[in-house]
Structure 1
């Protein structure tokens, strides 16, 4: 029997929607092309996939037409025009969606997807409308706005938040890139492809997807920053956004640019605070979020995203798991000793029976240290 594909429900629904809508869009474009092309026309059949003339206004976002179809602000974000981009986008949804939905839960994942698909489409649509209005030139067949570029950029931003220091090796380790640099490289690649390949919409979708993904995770997403501590008996705390230093805007760029970008980013942040568009983070929140980010980074890339099982991140994760088990066993022994002492104390409060020795604080520290070494 073939292996069963195990995907969370929203990721499965998103992947199926991508395949169905992309196939429907391709079929309708082909039908429109074939019905409008004379039999003696030598135009290549593949043109129906790329030419804006055959775009479907009630499926993808067309600045001059789709205002009559408001649902296209969502549907256009999950439609691809060709098989290459469809395969790439399917892989992005499969791996990125599977990981994020399991890490955040279905509700948070759904809000994130809606935020980073609709807002870039809306902003890009407004940008093109303004451009056509300023230039007084509306092309007969405007370039449609569609594709998963915004969602792909936002997925890379989320990975940068969770495992920024993880290194991806390509071409037999000939090229090694940290995940924290992926979002900026992705946006740069699409900005260069615009003038070279004529895909100007890719520039704006990737850029706005990057910005909206970071803004949502930085200032708005409700998260449990104590998830790592709660695994060892502590209680998690709820925080809005992620004020950690490792998720600041300048952290997306190489260190050499930080002295130039940091003052600019600080000025923009101060202006947004003055305008009450965002709430300033407290020092305690920054410290707690930075510690939580450090603990996430120590675990390496989660198993659903790793291609091999022998990386250093897996070893660290296993060591943390064993340390947590050792601490839990120590707590159980201390609780059992305390319960035994209470049971052996005389009811009248006398000390006829010598109380059972309970480890003092120094012994507990030594025991925990020994447990950490064993892990």
Structure 2
């Protein structure tokens, strides 16, 4: 029981929903068509865009999804808060489901004259991988330089590489396990839409701005190997302009900064200074109970008072001698 108390309430609720959904579809297989994403039956079941990302039909994926949800939420939720974390999960999950549905329609249109095109229209697609991929993107933003060591340090890599590694292994494993139709689009779209949300849309009240558009370590090309990052940067810039995903910062725009232009000199340093200041305040709160007793400080009045008394005593003694 103590182990469960170490995890957040929201992550335990989401994990419980995944487990309950697994047993419901196991007992009543017909419910898969109600909660999974089925392109041919999307209308009137429009809620499938959201519920498909919470439905697992394989036991090993249930275990992986629940463990991942509990572990990742423990790192993200204390930093953002429950409401912002839930908003992030909902946005990433819904966008992933909608994009996957659109992609399946495109595949059907391209293969409609083949013998198996109808099967694609009624495939049941579901899985929590998109949300897991999105949470790894959030971890990349929060603690990019933290190092992960496996096999007693034999394998080492930084957290900022975790989303790319997960995407590569998930895609490769899906072809081996025969789950590529759901895993590949969910993981790819989950990674991308989580990045879009965190890069351009997430509101940060401490900065009075949205997103993290000036962080060079969080640009889209950072998800790729270094030797392909320059061309990816160019493509991402063109796509960003086309989709109007230009950096916007109200506080900087108010000071004369033009949204979409290059960041002002020192802007990244200012953001880093704010983060250090928040960390220092948190450290002071933790050490508040250990503060040493105040040391009395001598003021000028304290120093001058004895001197005045000495001068008065000397004057009295001089007068006595003169008399």
Give me the TM-score of the superposition, normalised by structure 2: 0.75
Instruction: Find the counterpart in structure 1 of residue 79 from structure 2.
Output: 103
The answer as to 2:224 corresponding to 1:253 is: yes
Tell which deviates more after alignment, 262-271 or 77-86.
262-271
Bigger Cα Rg? 2
1:238-297 deviation per Cα after TM superposition (whole angstroms, max 9, x unaligned)? 321012122111222333333332333233334444x8797537426851576269859x
CA contact 1:222–1:238 (8 Å) conserved in 2: yes
Q: CA distance change for structure 1 residues 27 and 258 in 2, over 3 Å: closer, same or farther?
A: same
Which residue of the other structure, out of 37, 58, 61, is the alignment partner of 2:37? 61
SS in 2 for 1:67: coil
SS in 2 for 1:172: coil
Alpha-carbon distance in structure 1 between the residues aligned to 2:193 and 2:238: 19
Instruction: Find the counterpart in structure 2 of residue 20 from structure 1.
Output: 20
Alpha-carbon distance in structure 2 between the residues aligned to 1:93 and 1:293: 29
Q: CA distance change for structure 1 residues 57 and 2 in 2, over 3 Å: closer, same or farther?
A: same
Tell which deviates more after alignment, 212-221 or 188-197.
188-197
CA offset at residue 84 of structure 1?
0.7
Structure 2's unaligned 5+ residue stretches are 249-258, 307-323
SS in 1 for 2:124: coil
Alpha-carbon distance in structure 2 between the residues aligned to 1:329 and 1:66: 62
Tell which deviates more after alignment, 171-180 or 86-95.
171-180
Instruction: Find the counterpart in structure 1 of residue 255 from structure 2.
Output: none
Alpha-carbon distance in structure 2 between the residues aligned to 1:27 and 1:190: 28
Q: CA distance change for structure 1 residues 108 and 65 in 2, over 3 Å: closer, same or farther?
A: same
Alpha-carbon distance in structure 1 between the residues aligned to 2:61 and 2:12: 18
Instruction: Find the counterpart in structure 1 of residue 140 from structure 2.
Output: 160
Is the helix fraction higher in 1 or 2? Answer: 2
1:294-339 deviation per Cα after TM superposition (whole angstroms, max 9, x unaligned)? 859xx9xxxxxxxxxxxxxxxxx9xx9489959x979x87xx869x
Alpha-carbon distance in structure 1 between the residues aligned to 2:42 and 2:6: 36
CA offset at residue 102 of structure 1?
1.6
Give matches, 1:276-355, under 5 Å.
280=260, 282-283=263-264, 286-288=267-269, 291=272, 321=283
SS in 2 for 1:280: coil
Which residue of the other structure, out of 194, 216, 240, is the alignment partner of 2:210? 240
Q: CA distance change for structure 1 residues 197 and 11 in 2, over 3 Å: closer, same or farther?
A: closer
Alpha-carbon distance in structure 2 between the residues aligned to 1:172 and 1:64: 49
Q: CA distance change for structure 1 residues 218 and 289 in 2, over 3 Å: closer, same or farther?
A: farther
CA offset at residue 78 of structure 1?
0.9
The answer as to 2:119 corresponding to 1:143 is: no
Which residue of the other structure, out of 133, 154, 164, is the alignment partner of 1:174? 154
CA contact 1:57–1:66 (8 Å) conserved in 2: no
CA RMSD after TM alignment:
3.6
Q: CA distance change for structure 1 residues 16 and 215 in 2, over 3 Å: closer, same or farther?
A: same
Alpha-carbon distance in structure 2 between the residues aligned to 1:93 and 1:237: 28
Instruction: Find the counterpart in structure 2 of residue 262 from structure 1.
Output: 233
The answer as to 2:81 corresponding to 1:126 is: no
Alpha-carbon distance in structure 2 between the residues aligned to 1:158 and 1:149: 14
Structure 1's unaligned 5+ residue stretches are 33-54, 225-235, 300-316, 346-351, 355-375
1:189-247 deviation per Cα after TM superposition (whole angstroms, max 9, x unaligned)? 233345444322211110000000000001111125xxxxxxxxxxx433210121221
Give me the TM-score of the superposition, normalised by structure 1: 0.65
Give matches, 1:82-93, under 5 Å.
82-93=58-69
Q: CA distance change for structure 1 residues 337 and 70 in 2, over 3 Å: closer, same or farther?
A: farther
Instruction: Find the counterpart in structure 1 of residue 312 from structure 2.
Output: none
Alpha-carbon distance in structure 2 between the residues aligned to 1:222 and 1:214: 14
CA contact 1:58–1:66 (8 Å) conserved in 2: no
Instruction: Find the counterpart in structure 2 of residue 8 from structure 1.
Output: 8
CA offset at residue 56 of structure 1?
1.9
The answer as to 2:181 corresponding to 1:200 is: yes
1:102-146 deviation per Cα after TM superposition (whole angstroms, max 9, x unaligned)? 211111011101011111111101111232134223217733221
